[in-house]
Amino acid sequence: MSVAKPQTDAPLLRVSGLKKAYGAIQAVGGVSFEVRPGEIFGVIGPNGSGKTTLFNSVLGQITPDEGRIELQGRDITGLSPRALNHLGVGRTFQTLQVFGKMTVRDNLIVAAQEHHGTLLSRLFAPADSGLSDKADALIDLFRIRHVADKKAGELSYGQQKLVDIAMAFMSEPALVLLDEPCAGVNPSLVGGISTLLKDLNRRQGGSFVVIEHNMDFVMDLCHRILVMVEGQVMAVGTPDEIRANKQVLDAYLGS
């Protein structure tokens, strides 16, 4: 059962007419959608459908050829990932981004430090920038207390994945983009990740955009889902609407 639908329709993220081509290949061809405050929004589609290009455009890693990206009404098109991070945009990657030689707790603290005051204030702050309590709260939420003082590189892949996701939430971002959070994860852990993300959604109230190939995960987690095929939006709707869409079933999900 998915989490409750947000009560407001005012968009947190608005993408309008986004286009990106690589030579003659139109990777994204005029995509538009909105993500509401507190919404978990899924993006699905077959390989080559343009999901990653769309994701990286929103995250400032590539510059779109046309279109506009707005965060809380502000034009953020073409801003750098660092600038977006300071505006409250977090992300996870398909590949792990943990610091293997640092403890789990220190990984979480480092992930939030650049949001904690100015450079000068951090120079005179405690070594943990006063973030240990926040890190410990996420450690407990993610049920990784038993490995909190271990080096991240010594953990199993699944445990490292949990640390990686937790790091994205240390700064309590308004928007988090999660790139295949279940990739490479043991199937027994997938349900746990879904439960954690629902809990974070309720506690922190941010919006999530999730790219994921695991359809059961997406259908259970997301309020609404965008389906991309060949750089275009085929459909946007609730999980029930997407399941019932014959065009989507024929093109992607299979009947």
pLDDT digits (tens, 9 = 90+) for 87-114: 999 998 878 889 999 999 999 998 887 6
If asked whether residues 71 and 129 sit together in one domain, one would say no
| Across 147-155, average pLDDT | 95
What is the C-alpha separation between 60 and 39, in angstroms, rounded?
A: 21
If asked whether residues 83 and 178 sit together in one domain, one would say yes
If asked whether residues 111 and 1 sit together in one domain, one would say no
**Global pTM value:** 0.87
If asked whether residues 184 and 83 sit together in one domain, one would say yes
If asked whether residues 4 and 79 sit together in one domain, one would say yes
**How many CB atoms are closer than 10 A to CB 46?**
14
pLDDT score for 94: 79
At which of 172, 206, 233 does a domain end?
Answer: 172
If asked whether residues 70 and 109 sit together in one domain, one would say no
Helix axes 157-168, 187-204, angle to 10 degrees: 20
If asked whether residues 46 and 167 sit together in one domain, one would say no
Q: Residue 221 sits in which domain range? A: 1-88+173-255
* CATH (domain of 74): 3.40.50.300
What is the C-alpha separation between 43 and 31, in angstroms, rounded?
A: 12
Q: Which residue pairs, CB below 8 angstroms and at least 24 apart, start in 61-66?
A: 62/20, 64/18, 64/19, 64/20, 64/28, 65/19, 65/20, 65/21, 66/17, 66/18, 66/19, 66/30
What is the C-alpha separation between 33 and 12, in angstroms, rounded?
A: 11
Does the pLDDT of residue 125 top 60, yes or no?
Answer: no
Task: Answer yes or no: is 97 within a domain.
Answer: no
Task: Answer yes or no: is 71 within a domain.
Answer: yes
If asked whether residues 71 and 151 sit together in one domain, one would say no
Q: How confident is the model at residue 172 (pLDDT cuts 50, 70, 90)?
A: confident
pLDDT score for 97: 85
Task: Answer yes or no: is 9 within a domain.
Answer: yes
pLDDT score for 222: 97
pLDDT score for 206: 87
Task: Answer yes or no: is 231 within a domain.
Answer: yes
Task: Answer yes or no: is 237 within a domain.
Answer: yes
Split into its structural domains, the chain has a count of 2
Task: Answer yes or no: is 207 within a domain.
Answer: yes
If asked whether residues 183 and 83 sit together in one domain, one would say yes
| Across 115-126, average pLDDT | 40
Comparing 129 with 79, the larger pLDDT belongs to: 79
If asked whether residues 250 and 125 sit together in one domain, one would say no
Does the pLDDT of residue 251 top 80, yes or no?
Answer: no
Does the pLDDT of residue 176 top 80, yes or no?
Answer: yes
Task: Answer yes or no: is 131 within a domain.
Answer: yes
If asked whether residues 71 and 133 sit together in one domain, one would say no
| Across 10-17, average pLDDT | 94
If asked whether residues 183 and 72 sit together in one domain, one would say yes
Does the pLDDT of residue 124 top 90, yes or no?
Answer: no
At which of 143, 172, 201 does a domain end?
Answer: 172
pLDDT score for 117: 41
Does the pLDDT of residue 135 top 70, yes or no?
Answer: yes
At which of 124, 140, 172 does a domain end?
Answer: 172
